[in-house]
Structure 1
Amino acid sequence: MNRNDFILRLEQALAGMPEEERRRAVEYYENYFDEAGPENEAEVLHTLGAPEKVAADILKEFRDVSSPAGSAGNTGKTGKKGAESYAERAKNRFQEMDNGQKALVLVLAAVAVICVVPACVGIVGGVGGILIGLICAVATVFLIVPVLDLAAWGCAIGFVVAAGYTAAAGTGAETLLFIGLALVSAALGILLWKLTVYLFRTLFPALLNGIVGLFRRVFHRS
């Protein structure tokens, strides 16, 4: 038996089906053979088995979905959907319920919405709050270090002025104290300046590139 023999016997075995349904079932298997290719024809024939058995499976499921609770148009063994979609079937089932069952379904749906929506809002709000907190913390670090650096240099300048004033007044001990404080403030200012340069020249670009890369991966996957 070859492909043509299989299709011919299948058409004959499906003679009890409406013309449109029989044509769709036969077309499905013709496409099945086309996709497999001539080199795999023997393997496909072995896998499918006798066309009469395939037709029996199709007719059985066709009768099942042609019942009042189902819909015509399913071509059986292939798992192919008929004309009626899942949403239409669900709608038909809902319409077949009595008023009490419909009311129960509507109440359960309303309860599910009432329970799920606030939970989703809470989760989104919590995640958003965490992200905002992290952003504020990072921004605080990038702002406070330059401010402290400016304050350190300001203190150094102030201590130098104070040292000059005390030197003019002839108080040597206070002059030495202010000079020492000025040196400490200057050293702290240099340290904070290096930290500021590191933050804005190295850490900030790396952080920015990481955020951009994260958004690219998210949007690429979506």
Structure 2
Amino acid sequence: MNKEQFIQRLDELLRDISESERLEAIAYYREYFEDAGEEKEEEVIRELGSPEEVAHNIREELAGKEIMAAENMTEANGTDDWEPLQKDKKINPLVAGLLAVIGILLLITAGIPIVSAVLGVVVGIVAVLFGLLVAALVVGAAFMLVSIVLLAIGIVNVIAQPVAALLLFGAAFLFFGTGLLLMLAGVKICAVAIPAIIRKVTQWGSFLYRRGKIA
């Protein structure tokens, strides 16, 4: 198949569309072939496909344009018809105010239990952590006090009972180190855990609040 056969067959296949669109399509593809040159006719035909395929694509393109034009016309008519309805359906300011008040009351009613629950959780967790901190400080201080007592007893008996004194020194250092670690660990855990837990609880409360608002 050469260029003329391709154009002739395409012209026959496009007899069912308007003459202006058919002539425009034929002129386009004829110019396409001429721009490519005679030596590339076969290559252009392979690129375009069969005349039937080209005709099918042209019909689809024209159908798409018609649908788009119809949708645009419908949207334009819909907008024109809608504007007067909007003007006629203005909300009464009194009704709008009452709806706003009801919405605020519902929001407060839904928010108070959530806020109370979140605050209760936060206070409970902080209280537990504070108790752990106090316990760590008290136990640590007690261990350090015991270490001082053991050290004093060891010093008193270092000459009379050197072996026992050495054992007391070792126990004193062990108690002192354990007490110091307990105190540092308690402070460290609270310093890291409290902000992290507060952030998590805040996120959780925000999530519950959004769910309650959506519901």
The bucket for the TM-score relative to the shorter chain is 0.3 to 0.5
Pick the structure with greater CA Rg. 2
TM-score when normalising by structure 1: 0.38
Q: Which is helix-richer, 1 or 2?
A: 2
TM-score when normalising by structure 2: 0.39
